Structure 1
Amino acid sequence: MQDPAGFVAAASFGPELVDLALARVVSETGASAGFVYLLPPGEWVLRLAVLSGDSPELIAPWAQVRLTAPVPVADAVRERRLVWLGSQEELARRYPQSALVLPYHLAVAAAPITTDTTVWGGLVLRWPGSHPPQLPPQKRDALLACCHRLGLFLQQAADGDHPVLPEPEPRVVPPLRSRTPEPVRETAAADFAERLPGGCCALNPEGRITFLTSAAADLLGADVPGLLGARPWEALPWLDDPVVEDRYRAAVFSRQPTSFTALRPPDHWLSFHLHPDPSGISVRITPTATAHGPDASEVLHPPPPATPGRATALYHLLHLAATLTEAVGVRDVVDRVADQLLPAFGAQALALMTTQEGRLRIIGYRGYAAELMDRFDALPLTSDTPAVHVLTTGVPSFFATFEDLKRAYPPAVRQDEMGAWAFLPLITSGHPVGSLVLAYARPRPFAPEERAILTSTAGLVAQALDRAHLYDAKHQLAHSLQTALLPQALPHIPGLDVAARYLPSARGIDIGGDFYDLIRLDEATAAAAIGDVQGHNVNAAALMGQVRTAVHATAGAPPGEVLARTNRLLTDLDPGLFTSCLYAHLDLARHRAHLATAGHPPPLLRHPDGHTEVLDLPPGLLLGIDPAADYPTTGIPLPPGAVLALYTDGLVETPGIDLGEAIAGLADQLARAQGQSMDALAETLVHHAQGSASHGDDIALLLIHPHQDGG
């Protein structure tokens, strides 16, 4: 792409510039498909905004991606780096869950869309499996240049109070073409196809038939008007088999020819050859005398009667099973279930309920109004309602129409404007623990196979919820213990304004070992400490409590002596864990501070004039390694109006980012955030860290600000 300035200057065109940028980079790199994800302000979920070369239905499982999810685009955005996967084998090795749902030959690149301080989203490009295992420099440059321009445009749009945000449904951008066929050429092509032996048809990227010859219609046993605009596996029941949609997906994702053989009842074997390109798939249909022809990579036998789209349902459920293994907490389970089940089964609304104190409580919903959910929340388990009935009996209920529901439950009143319902028990370890409700806009017959799939799905959801409830209980316990070990409040010290923050890790439920402390020594002196015990478990938390106790017991001694005594205690205990710690003695009368460090990140000092520096303290060994370790003390001026910032590494460490650069960035943020109260400044620094770091570790922050009239 050329003229990035001109690209950004055209911001008045709005989101169309994002569409154009995606189409151009797909064309320039020869990618088979491209996707732009946006990260709305304050959110931790990437949302698919624009795609090219793919169907929204195929990419639906990845329409929303959490930043913590184990998928390429989340890693690229969270770690602010390019992720390249040159083969299916590499995808399976690094992202096994994604490879399980996408068992096709392909290559993928994902890169973050950023400006200096803000992450706006991510760009993903996909190539056929025939792509070389290495990403050529010119394609890499084109991809990164596109990300740079998109970042500039999104920044400019936000600065102009016209931010570009993802819409409820992603926009589809057609691939750029160098020439547009004229009608006369289209007619000639159709005549050419009609003269070929066998049959031909064309599918668009969504799998719908856009063209077919009369010979193809005859072979399929249908008429041309009845097939145009339909998906083959939906229009023809004998093609409603996972093999058909799997071959279609393989052609779309890998952009390589594939084939299968199917039996059109009663005895017509047909061979289907799929030839994909970015605009769709050309299909060659020929009769064959046997189910084992040399070109048949898959053999399709007549399926039992089924609800159309069962292959799509299986596709979504496979993705649901994979994503639920990563779910943590009830809220996470609810979101993942709603994301997958509604598109998988064509439902418009969903509600999840569990038992609490003799009542059925709604723990999550999607597609329903909050007012309606409030009316049904906390129903007694003695209520005569289908949701309670399936819970108490463990037997699912299906109502194809409201009349069916009314016959089973005469008091029922239609309140959700839906046309059909599935009420499913959530059973784990043989015991019902809740109910799952799926609602459909129109009447629905619920064929036996669909009922079986829905019932099995409810069992999968129940197991995930059971694990999630246990997770939440352990998380609450861990949080309570962590809170008890940290100071409940910082002491009031005349002449000092202080603020502290502690944020637990976004990963896992284990207890962290980060701590901070402020100790009043006398009218004119105080001590401050901050540290980080290795590990995230009960042992780390217990050791953190011992370190705090040791620091308190020796506070008032020179900083080097405080750390040396604490170190000897830890080596005597031999916990097998090491601790970083920084201790500061604050002399408010002389406006001085003396500091010593045991392998801890360097503190920051903002001078009264706003100049901010990273304090270069003589390094000391981590606590708990060598009982004879020495901890040098450094004195610094701490005049009124200065700000001393102590923090743990969770505030600055980000995979792929140099630690020195991250600390310098934090110092720059501290320098620019003048005129704020200490509480507001703490929020600013934490927000900066959350915007640029992966938050995979605990964060502790302690700000110390001598008053202008202190002393």
Structure 2
Amino acid sequence: MWRILAVSPTRGTDEVGPMTGSAGDERKPSGPPPALLTGTVAEALRAADGSAGGVYLCSGTPGLLRLAVLSGLPGPLFRPWWRVHVDRPYPVAEAHRTCAPVVLANATEVMRRYPQFAAGLPFQFGSLYVPVTAGGRSFGVLTVLRPAVADAAEVLAGQERLAAVADALGAALLRLGADGGAVTWDDEPLCVRPPAAGPPPGRVGRFSWDPETDAVSVDEHAHVLLGLPGGEFPGTLDALVRAVDATDALRLPGLFHQTARGRPPPLPVRLRTVEGGLRLLELWDATGAERPADAHDAPRPVAGVLLDPGPGALADGAADLLPEGVFCLDRMGFVVYANPRAGQLLGVPRDLLVGRSLWDSVPWLSQPTCEEHLRGVMLAPAPAYFDVRRPATADRPAQARPYEGDWLRVSLYPGADLVTCSAVPAHRVPDDTAPEPADTGAPVPVVAASTGPSYRPIVLAIALTEAVTARQVSAVVMQELLPAFGGRRLAIYLLQERHLYLAWESGFPEGFLAPFEGVGLDARLPGVETLTTGRPLFFDSMQQLGAAYPGMELDADEGARAFLPLIASGRPVGSCILGFDRSRSFGSEERTVLTALAGLIAHAMEKAQRYDTEAALARGLQQALLPRRLSQHTGVETAGRYLPGTEGMDVGGDWYDVVEAGDGLALVIGDVQGHGVQAAATMGQLRSAVRAFALSDRPPEEVLGGTNRLLIDLDPGQFASCCYVRLDPATGLARAARAGHLPPLLRHPDGRTDVVELPGGVVLGVDPRAHYPVTELRLEPGAILALYTDGLVERPGHDIDEGITALRRAFAEAGGQAERARTRADGPAQAPAAGAGAAAAGGDGTPGRALGAVADRLTALARQTADRPDDIALLLATRRDGRKDHPWRA
């Protein structure tokens, strides 16, 4: 029975058992139950009509998603996408960040929205990415790859069904986490077979025959397979024989009697039914007892099975006779059929070819070009063709003359469940410029699957265009280059004054690189010599590295290393070290690509170093223009904060100031239009002008009017907003005017917050005759007045009023926390260390710690945001009430 069922072991199956990236040994992952994940992915493929898919889950490493299940694709071919950083411009990362689905109808839309992702997988397919969320938490992303369509509207129904599957998984993971189970994934993905696209395997019917009584019993499947008429089966061997073709009927009784005497047919027997259908028959002794070959005892009962092999058996038999090599791969990359000629051309016996993955049975096909074409046919329905050169073997040595077997032309034809491949001699002349070493019988080093060589520079170049600082460039190299080549370690050193200093490292043992910090260019180290000589150094194993540099400490006993010089426009920039966990062979094409990528990294790093230097100078200038300490008054406490923007090199023009104005204080905040050194310089001029007017205790309308005319005279094309408040500390009377600036916020002692509506005038620098009306208000003891710039309340895609409302709520809460801190205080505060962009003053000259804490809470979210398009200024002020332990002293 089992011989028949093994004729086509994987054709049409929908197995979902766990497999490694290249074989079928089981593992025990430490994340959520595999049955939950694999079952969800299978359901997702059916819901969205997908051919392949998987689920990404959060890992133990913050900001990193790991592929937990991959269905319908060979794991090793897609290793570069096993890990995805959540800040990368990829669809799965965006779905996770935004908690919103991403639908990509075709390759054109992928290229438009995610060019880096498209450069790595430039094939015509569609895809859906749905976040897995529950209870306000994002667990990962469910992904389905499917045929391309013209419009995303065509997959909306599938998207809705997929969202329901993702919601069910999210709810299950939420329950699992509540019960203390693991909901993260830190292992390699489980590679599983997808649900079969075609009909199920051939039907099997069973029967038995008792030679003593001539009674035959058949099950319902055998009844149908034999084409027997409805009603009762006569139950005799003769009736069974009449159900098959006349030609086969002549030999069928003899086969039954031989089996009853202990001589069953060694192979399945082909039969035709009366209707002409092909069936496979296998017979055996029903008792299962062994008997001597010369036994003459009574005949024993016979059991058997009848199988409908479908059209595959005939097709396999026909393909066995073809002159070209033909073999078939399932969607996991396993060879499920190969004709004799394929075994000859691939140099592998057919019995060692079938049932194994292609890269395990034919290692020399694990070339980047072959892998790229295999990825293409697994994702898109278009055929692919390529030429590949076979390695020389002992029975077919390499020769310096044309040899028809050296090159093979391979054609790939994708189907729903299988990829049919053909191989024929290509009749190409060998390339004498790149001779191949003969096969010595040594094991082939393991080489991790990677993205196609021709696309790697494109992917990295696109990613590097978005990197500005040296740290961003290093992060791009770690996130793009390491996965593309299967690397696990990275170190980037930059040259400064003829010494190399570590700029970025990842994956090396803690403290291992410390002794190499600041090494000179005369040190005999591979990272130094690759830069001084300008030649990349490749070591296929750690033994090679140790032999080349005896005495140098190694970070591992097993692995491979690549040392790349970073040289831009002939100028040395530094060196890049790539580390691999296993020994590997660096091919000529791979060495060329890595060297080219090192050039891209060098140019990006050189540009980033210039940016870092210029940005540091510009921000130093801006910090110098901001007040280091705020003017003090016995009746008023103030606190100021400034945060620069994080986008681009240009600095902003926001500023704040506190100036003595007669017997009172002037509270000032402003924002110069634009960014850059010009904006910072204008900010410095305006701050000086406002300060001069304030020191002479001019009314608010005159301060803004004079500053407005001065700005028009200095730079007619420059604009600025400003808010000026003149506060009398004794009475709390405040006279305020604003020029196109956002209205202040006022927190009352009872915790209520209001927007102080000031009529205001136009921004400074527009109209020399502009008028700035003055509004009077009173600041009660314990109340806090907040002046701020738009960077604190503006959010892309949201109205600015929403940001002001959110700031009001945060202001009320932050003030309440400071009030509670005040009540717990035991004595006067100690002055905290002054930091860049922070200033505070207490009534007795000591910085107000609690008021500063309010400022810190209001800017906390902005400090934690890496994407801050504008700079931020904040100024807080409160009155003392004459007590020593006043409301905003901790």
Q: Same-fold call, TM > 0.5?
A: yes
Q: Choose which of 250, 253, 262 in structure 1 pairs with 2:376.
A: 250
Q: CA deviation at 1:85?
A: 4.9
* Number of the residue aligned with 1:549: 688
Q: Choose which of 350, 353, 365 in structure 1 pairs with 2:493.
A: 353
- 1:29-44 matches, within 5 Å, as 29-30=48-49, 33=53
CA distance in 2, matches of 1:137, 1:582: 51
CA spacing shift, 1:335–1:617, aligned 2, 3 Å? same
Larger mean Cα displacement after TM superposition, 662-671 or 169-178: 169-178
State the SS of the aligned residue for 1:312: coil
Q: Choose which of 596, 605, 611 in structure 1 pairs with 2:737.
A: 596
Please list the CA deviations of residues 420-470 of structure 1 after superposition, one character each: whole Å capped at 9, or x if unmatched. 433332222224332223334444444444333333332232222222221
Q: Choose which of 615, 632, 643 in structure 1 pairs with 2:756.
A: 615
Q: Residue 133 of structure 2 contacts residue 166 of structure 2 at CA under 8 Å; is this kept in 1?
A: yes
Larger mean Cα displacement after TM superposition, 486-495 or 411-420: 411-420
User: Is 2:658 the counterpart of 1:518?
Assistant: yes
State the SS of the aligned residue for 1:530: strand
CA distance in 2, matches of 1:189, 1:568: 96
CA spacing shift, 1:357–1:490, aligned 2, 3 Å? same
* Number of the residue aligned with 1:282: 418
State the SS of the aligned residue for 1:355: strand
User: Is 2:851 the counterpart of 1:678?
Assistant: yes
State the SS of the aligned residue for 2:529: helix
CA distance in 1, matches of 2:38, 2:633: 57
State the SS of the aligned residue for 1:675: helix
* Number of the residue aligned with 2:868: 695
* Number of the residue aligned with 1:129: 148
Structure 2 residue ranges without an equivalent (≥5): 1-30, 205-279, 281-306, 320-325, 391-404, 438-444, 819-849
Q: CA deviation at 1:283?
A: 0.3
Please list the CA deviations of residues 222-260 of structure 1 after superposition, one character each: whole Å capped at 9, or x if unmatched. 34565568664675466455554333333455x544433
Q: Choose which of 766, 780, 798 in structure 2 pairs with 1:639.
A: 780
State the SS of the aligned residue for 2:623: helix
Please list the CA deviations of residues 561-585 of structure 1 after superposition, one character each: whole Å capped at 9, or x if unmatched. 3222222222222342322222222
* Number of the residue aligned with 1:425: 565
Q: CA deviation at 1:30?
A: 4.7
CA distance in 2, matches of 1:14, 1:670: 45
Structure 1 residue ranges without an equivalent (≥5): 1-11, 292-300
CA spacing shift, 1:349–1:107, aligned 2, 3 Å? same
CA spacing shift, 1:62–1:241, aligned 2, 3 Å? closer
State the SS of the aligned residue for 2:633: coil
Larger mean Cα displacement after TM superposition, 648-657 or 26-35: 26-35
User: Is 2:363 the counterpart of 1:201?
Assistant: no
Q: TM-score, normalised by structure 1?
A: 0.80
CA distance in 2, matches of 1:161, 1:526: 59
* Number of the residue aligned with 1:416: 556
Please list the CA deviations of residues 245-285 of structure 1 after superposition, one character each: whole Å capped at 9, or x if unmatched. 333333455x5444335567447644311135xxxx52012
State the SS of the aligned residue for 2:451: helix
- Structure number with the higher helix fraction is 1
Larger mean Cα displacement after TM superposition, 434-443 or 301-310: 301-310
CA distance in 2, matches of 1:453, 1:625: 56
CA RMSD in angstroms, aligned pairs only: 4.6
Q: Choose which of 78, 88, 96 in structure 2 pairs with 1:58.
A: 78
* Number of the residue aligned with 2:769: 628
- 1:460-499 matches, within 5 Å, as 460-499=600-639
State the SS of the aligned residue for 1:509: coil
Q: Residue 103 of structure 2 contacts residue 152 of structure 2 at CA under 8 Å; is this kept in 1?
A: no
CA distance in 1, matches of 2:158, 2:365: 39
CA spacing shift, 1:123–1:610, aligned 2, 3 Å? farther
Opposite residue 334 of structure 2, the aligned amino acid is: I
* Number of the residue aligned with 1:560: 701
Please list the CA deviations of residues 632-674 of structure 1 after superposition, one character each: whole Å capped at 9, or x if unmatched. 3333332222222222222222222232222222222222332
CA spacing shift, 1:211–1:178, aligned 2, 3 Å? closer
CA distance in 2, matches of 1:286, 1:664: 67
Percent identity between the two aligned chains? 37
Please list the CA deviations of residues 120-160 of structure 1 after superposition, one character each: whole Å capped at 9, or x if unmatched. 987776654226233766566667788999999999999x8
Larger mean Cα displacement after TM superposition, 620-629 or 488-497: 488-497
Q: CA deviation at 1:72?
A: 5.1
Opposite residue 877 of structure 2, the aligned amino acid is: I
CA distance in 2, matches of 1:695, 1:582: 23
Q: TM-score, normalised by structure 2?
A: 0.65
CA distance in 1, matches of 2:308, 2:626: 75
* Number of the residue aligned with 2:666: 527
CA distance in 2, matches of 1:575, 1:156: 64
Q: CA deviation at 1:177?
A: 5.8
* Number of the residue aligned with 2:793: 652
Larger mean Cα displacement after TM superposition, 483-492 or 128-137: 128-137
* Number of the residue aligned with 1:295: none
Q: Residue 608 of structure 1 contacts residue 642 of structure 1 at CA under 8 Å; is this kept in 2?
A: yes
Opposite residue 195 of structure 1, the aligned amino acid is: L
Q: Residue 84 of structure 1 contacts residue 135 of structure 1 at CA under 8 Å; is this kept in 2?
A: no
Q: CA deviation at 1:592?
A: 3.7
Larger of the two Rg values belongs to structure:
2
Q: Residue 120 of structure 2 contacts residue 451 of structure 2 at CA under 8 Å; is this kept in 1?
A: no
Larger mean Cα displacement after TM superposition, 239-248 or 165-174: 165-174
Q: CA deviation at 1:374?
A: 0.8
Q: Residue 312 of structure 1 contacts residue 344 of structure 1 at CA under 8 Å; is this kept in 2?
A: yes
CA spacing shift, 1:432–1:643, aligned 2, 3 Å? same
State the SS of the aligned residue for 2:628: coil
CA spacing shift, 1:119–1:286, aligned 2, 3 Å? closer
State the SS of the aligned residue for 2:492: strand
State the SS of the aligned residue for 2:513: helix
* Number of the residue aligned with 2:231: none
CA spacing shift, 1:127–1:332, aligned 2, 3 Å? same
CA distance in 2, matches of 1:520, 1:24: 71
CA distance in 1, matches of 2:583, 2:462: 31
* Number of the residue aligned with 1:502: 642
CA distance in 1, matches of 2:644, 2:708: 25
Q: Residue 639 of structure 2 contacts residue 851 of structure 2 at CA under 8 Å; is this kept in 1?
A: yes
Q: Residue 32 of structure 2 contacts residue 183 of structure 2 at CA under 8 Å; is this kept in 1?
A: no
CA distance in 1, matches of 2:138, 2:655: 29
CA distance in 1, matches of 2:803, 2:188: 34
Q: Residue 233 of structure 1 contacts residue 245 of structure 1 at CA under 8 Å; is this kept in 2?
A: no
